[in-house]
Amino acid sequence: MQAVLHLVPEDRQARVEGQGWQMAVDIPSSNSSVAPSDEGGALLQLVRDETAVVSGTGFMPGTRADVWLFSEPTLLGTVDIDENGEFRGEVNIDSNVVVVGEHTLQLQGVGEDGYVRAANLGVVVNDTAAEATTEEAAGGFLWWLWLLVILVALILWFVIWRYRRNREA
């Protein structure tokens, strides 16, 4: 049986179910979202320095589930699978490690039958609104700084020009 994707946008959750197993990503932040992608999969909107909750059932007890972010392979975290074959944990979208842009989030773990189960979800990682605002403000400040430098240069040129003109007279 092929895995089936379920999206619950109002709960900000994407869940993948296979025969006897399931994995889910919940995004608690109101800045993030879950929506269908153009290719028929899921598209998660994540924000750097916030967390996502990963969970699953139907896995081999005593193993672990890994959460990866690709294109540049980045291990976001691991979660231990309990004696019931279930896991639940948080992973941080660390701004020191994760770059803004499009990625693929992969959850993987060993199923009860010993085979690896994996779910891939499309992800767009954004900066927080505060960081974006700070960058815009910094850009605005830079324009003012350049304007000030040009103004000082013009005043200096005028003073030198006036001084030379008075010396010649």
Q: What is the pLDDT of residues 43-59, one digit of tens each?
A: 899 999 999 999 999 99
pLDDT of residue 169: 67
Indicate the pTM of the whole model.
0.72
The stretches in the chain having pLDDT less than 50 are: 131-132
pLDDT of residue 46: 92
Please, are residues 106 and 120 in contact by the beta-carbon 8 Å criterion? yes
Say which amino acid occupies 17: E
pLDDT of residue 129: 59
Residue with tokens 């979202």: 33
Q: Report in angstroms the alpha-carbon separations of 128 from 11, 33, 65, 110, 132.
A: 20, 13, 27, 34, 6
